[in-house]
């Protein structure tokens, strides 16, 4: 069986690393559920530990460390295992945040993920390139701790994000320096200062993305968001009345042109997923684009507290009257100002025309 597997891998060795990366991604897509599930956390922690072990085993292979041991016959599989576990850890982040309706907030990560996925075909020696190995390891290590710690502590803020970064940076540097110390072949292939500079650069890049709101504030995710004419709550159900989007805007449910009559209210409804027993203050920051100043002006900031645990997210809404005609947007933010999503819409004031394509939906 082992010989057959070796023959298959040798025959398809050009594509094997990418296939194993995709395999890890696909496997998690089928098996992972909630970000706060004990099973999910155990699996992902196992992935990270196994990835660390595989990096160590692979980097000592050229030193003949595993000759005449039971590991010798498995040496060909070490780089493929590395790809599988990197794919699994990357997919966890994407799966948990692909549920967010704010795709603009996570597109940066998807770009990085795609780049990581195809880097094997662009870099010399592919997965054997140790600079790529260590960089990819730190990236998935960092993203793992950014949602693992908040779920474990049942709280999130900027300090916990920074703590996650320090833990991932410390563990990555320890592993790299240890491998560098015990592996003569690694010392020949890798310049220590260069790999350390790459790791620090990735650390600064992820922090920059986070504080510029280019990465969603883990582990929260905005499940639903829409602008409505009316909201009624009864028996713990929300009946939302809103204008449906035209058929050609298939990617969104609600229309972004709101027919408004003076004296009416405009509602913003959101549902935000949070882990069980997780409490957080969320705000809707209403903004109006002023034609005079050509800038977005903050009109109001209305908040409410959410409690995690519901699969479909914690539901809440805010509303305003006396709306001004023009372009509006509502930032859905945490109390630290991190953006979960943005709802854009336009108000068209018309005292005679009624709203078009009205629908009601229960959330």
Distance CA 233, CA 320 (A): 17
pLDDT at 317 over 90: yes
Quote the pTM value.
0.80
For residue range 225-278, what is the model confidence (pLDDT) as tens digits? 889 999 999 988 999 998 887 777 666 777 778 888 888 899 999 999 888 888
- Mean pLDDT confidence for 142-147: 89
- Is the pLDDT higher at 19 or at 135? 135
Token pair recorded at residue 226: 């829409």
Q: Is the pLDDT of residue 1 over 80?
A: no
Band of pLDDT at residue 121, cut at 50, 70 and 90: very low
pLDDT score of 119: 57
Longest dimension (CA), the chain: 87
Give the residue with greater pLDDT, 20 vs 237. 237
The CATH architecture that domain 221-362 belongs to is: Sandwich (2.60)
**Residue 22: pLDDT band by 50, 70, 90 thresholds?**
low
Q: Write down the pLDDT at residue 231.
A: 95
361, with CB counted inside 10 A (0-12, 13-18, 19+), is: middle
Answer yes or no: is pLDDT of 359 > 60.
yes
If one compares 105 and 307, the residue with the highest pLDDT of the two is 307
CB 89 within 8 A of CB 51: yes
Q: What average pLDDT does this structure show over 79-94?
A: 78
As a whole number, the mean pLDDT across the chain is: 82
pLDDT at 25: 62
pLDDT tens sequence across 184-209: 999 988 889 999 999 999 999 889 88
pLDDT more than 70, % of the chain:
78
- What number is the average pLDDT over the span 159-167? 94
- Cis, bond preceding 219 (omega within 30 deg of 0): yes
What is the chain's length?
A: 363
Does residue 124 surpass a pLDDT of 50? no
Query: Which residue would you say has higher pLDDT here, 37 or 17?
Result: 37
pLDDT at site 251: 66
For the chain, which residues make up each domain, given as ranges?
Answer: 2-211, 221-362
Instruction: Report residue 35 as tokens.
Output: 């970000």
Place of tokens 């576990």: 85
Task: Give the residue with greater pLDDT, 262 vs 111.
Answer: 262
- pLDDT, greater one: 311 or 110: 311
pLDDT at 286 over 50: yes
């Amino acid at each position: 069986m082992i010989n057959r597997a070796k023959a298959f891998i040798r025959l398809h060795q050009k594509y094997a690393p990418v296939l194993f990366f995709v395999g890890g991604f696909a496997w998690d897509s089928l098996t992972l559920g909630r970000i706060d599930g004990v099973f999910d956390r155990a699996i992902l922690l196992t992935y990270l530990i196994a990835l660390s072990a595989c990096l160590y085993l692979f980097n000592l292979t050229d030193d003949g460390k595993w000759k005449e041991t039971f590991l010798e016959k498995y040496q060909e599989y070490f780089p493929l295992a590395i790809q599988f576990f990197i794919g699994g850890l990357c997919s966890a982040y994407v799966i948990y945040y692909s549920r967010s309706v704010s795709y603009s907030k996570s597109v940066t990560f998807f770009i990085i993920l795609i780049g990581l996925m195809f880097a094997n075909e662009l870099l010399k020696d592919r997965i054997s390139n140790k600079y790529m190995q260590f960089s990819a390891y730190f990236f998935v290590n960092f993203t793992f701790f950014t949602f693992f710690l908040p779920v474990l502590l049942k709280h999130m803020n900027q300090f916990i994000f920074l703590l996650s970064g320090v833990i991932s940076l410390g563990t990555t540097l320890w592993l790299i320096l240890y491998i560098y110390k015990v592996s003569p072949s690694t010392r020949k292939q890798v310049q220590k200062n260069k790999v350390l500079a790459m790791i620090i650069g990735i650390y600064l890049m992820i922090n920059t993305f986070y504080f510029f709101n280019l990465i969603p504030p883990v582990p929260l995710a905005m499940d639903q968001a829409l602008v409505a004419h009316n909201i009624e709550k009864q028996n713990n159900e929300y009946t939302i009345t809103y204008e449906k989007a035209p058929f050609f805007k298939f990617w969104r449910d609600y229309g972004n042109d709101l027919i408004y009559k003076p004296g009416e209210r405009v509602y913003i409804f959101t549902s935000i997923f949070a882990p069980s027993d997780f409490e957080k203050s969320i705000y809707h920051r209403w903004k109006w684009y002023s034609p005079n100043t050509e800038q977005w002006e903050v009109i109001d900031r209305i908040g409410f507290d959410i409690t995690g645990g519901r699969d479909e997210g914690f539901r809440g809404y805010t509303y305003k009257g006396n709306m001004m005609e023009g372009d509006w947007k509502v930032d859905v933010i945490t109390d630290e100002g991190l953006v979960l999503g943005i709802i854009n819409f336009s108000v068209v004031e018309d005292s005679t025309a009624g709203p078009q394509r009205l629908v009601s939906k229960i959330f």
